[in-house]
Chain A
Amino acid sequence: MLELKNITKSYNNKTILNNLNLKVEDDSILSIVGPSGAGKTTLLRCIAGLENIDSGTFLIDGKPFDPTKDKDVQPIVGVVFQDFNLFPHLSVIENVALAPQMVLKQSKKDAIEKAAELLTYFDLIDNKDQYPSELSGGQKQRVAIARALAMQPKILCYDEPTSALDPSLRDVVGNYILKTKNTGVIQIIITHDPAFAEKISDQILKVQPIK
């Protein structure tokens, strides 16, 4: 279970998050919806350790953790970025297998084997030797999901997973996110699309800009 306690964050004297409290159960999906400027992405970046919070605590399974200080160890939080941030010079399977080798110190053979399993799970095994520029948007997104899951995080965050894709792919993405539930990971989805959130989430958090 992920818990956020009294999270506060401000930018240039403007409060973005004010004493936010939140609980997410294991293998459930939380969507965070709201208009732009409501602090959705800021919240995600704080959970992912890309921004420092001003005050508050993150707890995973009851134990506090600092997302910004998880270097050289298995990260608790994985992220699927809006434009995926795949590594263009690495093939699909190398994208997935790199961090497990560098950070978790898996052998190359193990990392590649596990990456191949993940790619099979996400219907990408035929693309394993392609480079990101050769993939469609939906394929890139699945590589990004597989790459994050290869680190076996407890939490997987998505920043606007539907916005960079063709509208017809919305349901497809939703199905892959639901499929990912089976891995036991907590999923947090930032979206401005209430209908999409309604369809896939167990829990929805609505945020509004603080006046």
Chain B
Amino acid sequence: MNYIFEILPSLLSGTVMTLKVFFWTLIISLPLGILVSVGRSSGIKIIQWILSFYIWVMRGTPLLLQLIFVFYGLPNLPFFPIVFERYDAALFAFIINYTAYFAEIFRGGFGSIKKGQFEGAKVLGLNYFQTLRKIIIPQVLKIVLPSIGNEVINLIKDSSLVYVIGLGDVLRAGNIASSRDVTLVPLILVGVIYLLLTLVCTWVLKILEKHYSYYD
């Protein structure tokens, strides 16, 4: 028991890093995902191609590779080396990766809204932006919520990948303690922390789904 209290502070500060990566990725990727999916359904061909290519690359390659590429690869770019701090590199890689996944989820959501909703709004005089904000997006959110929920839980666990670029998240803290003190306990604690985090997420998602269940 004493041992647990001894290592808990370092695990908790690792958890803070995990939560920071999680929180900022979510806050930035969700609206970006909506933008990308709207852009993909815009009539402008060149934008459609660029965004489709971006989504293909992001979904077709491992997040781990993207993380390594951003942090270790970009500084070696000829002529324009791009150097990120560890934390910035992690956020950047997570945001561009998750934006692509969210964009695909939103594309499905937008696709399931009937054309009549757009026409109904149009004949009332609402412009495109008002229609999206007041009519379409609220309905899309309800439709995509379960899929977004899956990604949110994945994101909590994926955030452990930041370990590879030397960022001190909860997994790294546990691993260090485990090999230093030759014991399983820190790893079990790390598992418990992840379980608690995903439990909270599941609970929040359930509340959101309930909030949106006021109509069929």
Contact = CB atoms under 8 A, between A and B. Distances in A.
Interface of A: 48-50, 70-75, 77-79, 81, 83, 85-89, 98-99, 102-103, 131-133, 147-148, 151
Contacts of A81: 116, 119-120
Contacts of A73: 125
Contact of B126 (A48, A77, A99, A148): A99
B117 interface: yes
Contact of A103 (B120, B124, B135): B124
A74 B123 contact: no
Contacts, number: 68
A46 to B, nearest CB: 12
13 contacts: A73-B125, A75-B123, A79-B123, A85-B116, A85-B117, A85-B119, A87-B120, A87-B121, A88-B215, A99-B124, A102-B125, A132-B215, A147-B124
Contacts of A49: 122-123
Contacts of A131: 214-216
B76 interface: no
B146 interface: no
Given A102-B130, A133-B216, A75 B119 contact: no
B120 A85 contact: yes
A187 to B, nearest CB: 15
A89 B138 contact: yes
A147 B130 CA distance: 17
Given A87-B135, A103-B130, 10 more contacts: A50-B122, A70-B125, A75-B124, A75-B125, A79-B120, A87-B121, A102-B130, A148-B123, A148-B124, A151-B124
